[in-house]
Structure 1
Amino acid sequence: MATTVVGRLPADEFALSATLRAVPDVAFRAERVIEAGGDTVMPLLWAHVDDGTLDGSELTEALREDPTTDGVTLLGDFDDEWLYRMHWTGHVELLVHMITQSKATVLRASTVGNQWELRVLYPNRESLSSTYDFCEAHGLTFDVQSVSEMDVTPSGRYGLTDPQYEALVTAREAGYFQVPRGASLDDLADDLGVSHQALSERIRRGTDVLVGEALLTQPNDE
């Protein structure tokens, strides 16, 4: 059965560690990561800062001077967010192994401080084991945060519990998220046969999970 793994590794053992030191306020997330031949990968990478004070030219220069990058191209400038294409040529052996040897799919790659967090889909447990063996053989750190079997149900595909999925779908169909609202929380609670508070918590926690999945951040624990 397919297995999803969330794990972290230090940027010093991966990519962009020099950029993260030079521009500590920036956060990165990969839109996609593909193997580019040899020991390189080519990510389509978003860079973001919250305070809006970063000069894009400063970030581009830091990326081009980073020893783990090559062929850095700025594709889009959106005030406090930038889209880049580049080659990672540094310590990306683990990522190349995941993609080529383990037949894995990198669903998410984003920075958390000076670490990278990867969400990886493996075709089976055996392919995951090969990643453990590779890390041990090469002295790499891959701190696994969670391991879960892929759930083919609609709720499972998005990391929701069944009650959260039911609450969000019911709310959406009733127009709860529209402006103005097509239904109140009390109306939905009556339809689902639960209390106002229980339904409110399901919607808030379910929304938190969905936002976490969509925006490439790790959802909070239930």
Structure 2
Amino acid sequence: MGLTAEFRLQSPRLPLIDVASAVPDLTFRLESTDQPQSGPVVFFIRVTGSSFDGVDAALTDSPSVKEHVRISEIGSIRIYQVVLTGPRPEYLDKRMFYKTFPESITIASDGWYIKQQLADRNELLAYQEFWQTRGFSFRLDRLYDSHSTDTELIGISEKQREALLTAYEAGYFAVPQQTSLDNVATALKISRSALAERLHRAQAHLIEHFYYTDLY
């Protein structure tokens, strides 16, 4: 069974995060990479936004960029070819041996947000270890079956899910509120404090889940 993972990589070694930080109103997507037989890595990036003020200056000033060329501009989208400085990082080659397929890579000021298909959970754990042993921070935001449109909310347990649904169906989240926390706790046969903790944790994960949707 294939899985789709949405995760964030963080490291000062990741190229173009300084560019994304300089022009935070723009969205940067890595479309593809190329590597000549000898020479630097070449990125093709899609930049989206209502105004491109500052993007060329940010690319010029970035220490990770040797040179850049605007390939096209159509409305709110620009395509750039970006030649990186320095030799090809070893991790770009070694990661190719993992059973994964990248769907999208968004470059932001706080890291790379990656949506990637993987063969199974063991492959996910191996891929996570691959990045962490090289000094990259790996944070998994979402994980779900690649063959389904339903998502598994990372961090929400069955008990937290049950608490959310029971509270919702009883009208705890309605305006005006139709039941109390004590009544929901009684229905679940748990203490009021245990219910409050489950709801708070579940709500926090829901906010994270839907907040990060736009980043992948």
Shorter chain as denominator, the TM-score bin is: 0.5 to 0.7
Q: Which residue of 2 aligns with 1:158?
A: 153
TM-score by length of 1: 0.56
The structure number with the bigger radius of gyration is: 2
For residue 193 of structure 2, the aligned residue among 192, 197, 215 is 197
Say if 2:16 and 2:107, in contact at 8 Å, map to a contact too.
Answer: no
Partner Cα separation in structure 1 for residue 175 and residue 124 of structure 2: 47
Residue 123 of structure 1 and its aligned partner are, at CA, apart by 2.2
Count the aligned residue pairs: 186
After the TM superposition, which residues 46-195 of structure 1 pair with which residues of structure 2 at under 5 Å, given as runs? 60-67=52-59, 70=70, 71=72, 75=76, 86-87=79-80, 89=82, 102-106=99-103, 109=106, 111=108, 113=110, 115-118=111-114, 120-124=116-120, 125-126=122-123, 142-145=136-139, 157-159=152-154, 160-195=156-191
Partner Cα separation in structure 2 for residue 183 and residue 27 of structure 1: 43
Q: Which residue of 2 aligns with 1:216?
A: 212
**Any idea what SS the aligned residue of 1:181 has?**
coil
Residue 202 of structure 1 and its aligned partner are, at CA, apart by 0.5
Residue 170 of structure 1 and its aligned partner are, at CA, apart by 1.3
TM-score by length of 2: 0.57
User: Please, what is the CA RMSD of the aligned residues?
Assistant: 4.8
Say if 1:18 and 1:66, in contact at 8 Å, map to a contact too.
Answer: yes
**Any idea what SS the aligned residue of 2:53 has?**
helix
% identical equivalent positions: 21
- Unaligned residue ranges in structure 1 (runs of 5+): 47-55, 76-83, 218-222
Say if 1:14 and 1:90, in contact at 8 Å, map to a contact too.
Answer: no
Say if 1:98 and 1:104, in contact at 8 Å, map to a contact too.
Answer: no
